[in-house]
Each structure stands twice: as structure tokens, then as C-alpha cells.
Amino acid sequence: MYELFYYPSNASLAPHFILEEIGAPFELRLVDRKVNGQKDPEYLKLNPMGRIPTLVDGDLVLFEAAAICLHLANKHPEAGLVPELATAERAQLYKWLMFLSNTIQPDFMTFYYPEQHTTDTSAIASVKAAAEGWLDTAYAVINEALGQCGPYLLGDTISVADFYLLMEVRWGRFQKNSPKDLPNIRRCVDLVAARPSVLRAAAAEGIDPIY
């Protein structure tokens, strides 16, 4: 049985969606950020950076949300969340998942925690504003691509990248220009958010509304 170490609405949300979607047995393990549970010595043995999420799959311990999503989808191909290996569709999946995790996700970290990205307290507001501008640019790229290929990032077929996008659209609800207001993104995440797997995960984490 899988174990997912999570905190509501954190980067564990996309892996939680995937676990529900593939239908495999799993247990949620709350890492309580309110009491710095992510810095507990026992948790640091699993995730030395003290971040969330972590997945335990037997003797395998994984951190990094995108890696967890790919691992679960690869182990359960019957769920149809990843294209065949060495295909153009698979390459497109890698592109979008890496874009979401390596471009957008770090910008969100800067947006929410600007004080961690400067030693000049007078620059905190400017750092936050710059991060929000980068996020606006990145989401415009996704919105345009979805307009050309949609409704999902891989066209007609849902993939792990779409669940990851939904998670990040939720994070964007506090931006001045929320990504949910971009029409092609909204069309995509509305479809994903309506899936029973997402509804179950949201209910388990006490998330309402989803974005």
C-alpha cells in the first residue's frame, strides 16, 4: 500500500489526485506544517529537504511531486495517464510537466515566500510583484497552447500534467490575474476538477472550492 505524506493544498495535492485516479490502495500521512512537522527528525529521514510531499512505496521512498506523479502513472498504465514511452506524446508530457514543476512552481515559491529570495527587506514587495509577472507570462503560454491542442495539455487525452495544472491553478487564486480566468485553462481545469477522483481528494483534504 502506498503512503503519501501530505499537507492540505500543498504540492502533495497532485499526487493525491493521481492516487485517487489510479484507484490503488493508499494511506494519507499528515505532515502538520502548523507545528513544523516537515522538520521533524523522523520525517527528515524520508525527505532530507523537509518538504512536502513524500511517497513511500514499499522500500522505495520518493520526494518531488512531479516524480511521484510520473512513478504512480507509470506503475498503473491501465489508468491511461501517461502516453507510450519514446513517442512524441510522451515527450510533450515531459515538456509540460517539467514546465509546471520547474518554471511555474518555483515562481509560486517566490510569490508566496518573497522574503526567502532577498536579503533586502525593502525589496520584498518588488520580488513578489516580479514573481507574479513571471507567473502571468507562464500561464499565458499554457493558455495559448491549450487553445491550439485542448481541451487537455496533450489534446484529447487527460494526463498527469492536467492534474498538476489544476493544483497550480488552485495556488493562483490569490494572484491579481488568476489563471482560472484564462478561458482555455479554465476549460481544462473545469474538466479535471469534475472527475470523481479529484472530488474525493478535495473532500479528504477539506478543500472547497477547488480554486
Confidence of residue 62 (pLDDT cuts 50, 70, 90): very high
Tell how strand 2-6 and strand 26-30 pair up.
parallel
What is the model's pTM?
0.96
Query: How do residues 113-136 score in pLDDT, each as one tens digit?
Result: 999 999 989 999 999 999 999 999
Calculate what percentage of the chain has a pLDDT beyond 90.
Answer: 99
At 127 the pLDDT is: 94
The CB-side HSE value for 187 (13 A sphere, CA atoms) comes to 16
The architecture CATH gives domain 2-80 = 3-Layer(aba) Sandwich (3.40)
Residue whose entry in the numeric block shows the C-alpha cell 499554457 = 142
- For the chain, give every domain's residue range: 2-80, 88-198
At 38 the pLDDT is: 97
How far is it, in rounded angstroms, from Cα 61 to Cα 140? Answer: 35
At 29 the pLDDT is: 98
- Work out the mean pLDDT of the chain and round it to a whole number: 97
Right CATH for 88-198 from 2.30.140.10, 3.90.980.10, 3.90.1150.10, 1.20.1050.10? 1.20.1050.10
- Indicate the length of the chain as a whole number: 211
Look at the alpha carbons of 193, 106, 85, 5 in this order and tell me if their dihedral is positive or negative.
negative
At 77 the pLDDT is: 97
